[in-house]
Amino acid sequence: MNRTIIITAAILGAVAVIAGAFGAHALKAILSPQQIQIWGTAVQYHFYHVFALLFLSTFARDKNNLVFASYWLFLLGILFFSGSLYLLSFSGVLHWNWLHILGPITPVGGLLFISGWITLALAAIRNK
């Protein structure tokens, strides 16, 4: 599990750096300042939870179900929270009318993040 968590964090970390650079350079000419801010929020929370995954890998050697659950909660939180914000920031450019349905998905990602942090705390409490 430790290796899986580190590999996942490394890949997601690379994606976060690419997304941040893309937003800082390529998207400024395409997106409005508000959309750039949404993109930045997505990158920010994406990075926070890459670091959370790396920290989680320190507990992974214990084959703990709470560590496994926290791993999936953080991973799905990145996909739901940051992923929906990445797409929402493009809503004005793509003219895809269906993108507004992503709005309710963002808070679900936030709840997954919160659940992941609580689960991480419980894993630490149970760790000997």
Per-residue DSSP letters for 96-122? -GGGGGGTTHHHHHHHHHHHHHHHHHH
Q: Which pLDDT value is given to residue 82? A: 96
Q: Are 70 and 56 in contact (CB under 8 A)?
A: yes
Instruction: Retrieve residue 117's tokens.
Output: 């942090």
HSE of 89 in the Cβ direction (CA atoms, 13 Å)? 24
Q: Is the pLDDT of residue 121 over 70?
A: yes
Determine the average pLDDT of the residues in 13-33.
Answer: 90
28 vs 69, more confident: 69
User: How far is CA 49 from each of CA 27, 64, 90, 96, rounded to the nearest angstrom?
Assistant: 23, 19, 23, 29
Determine the average pLDDT of the residues in 106-121.
Answer: 96
Q: Is the pLDDT of residue 61 over 80?
A: no
Model-level pTM?
0.90
Q: Where are the domains of the chain?
A: 2-126
What's the rounded Cα separation, in Å, for the pair 102 and 15? Answer: 21
Q: Which pLDDT value is given to residue 126? A: 84
Over pLDDT 90: what percentage of the chain?
55
Q: Which pLDDT value is given to residue 62? A: 65
Tell me the pLDDT tens digit for each residue of 96-109. Answer: 676 677 778 999 99
Least-confidence region, from 5-14, 31-40, 45-54: 31-40
Q: Is the pLDDT of residue 78 over 90?
A: yes
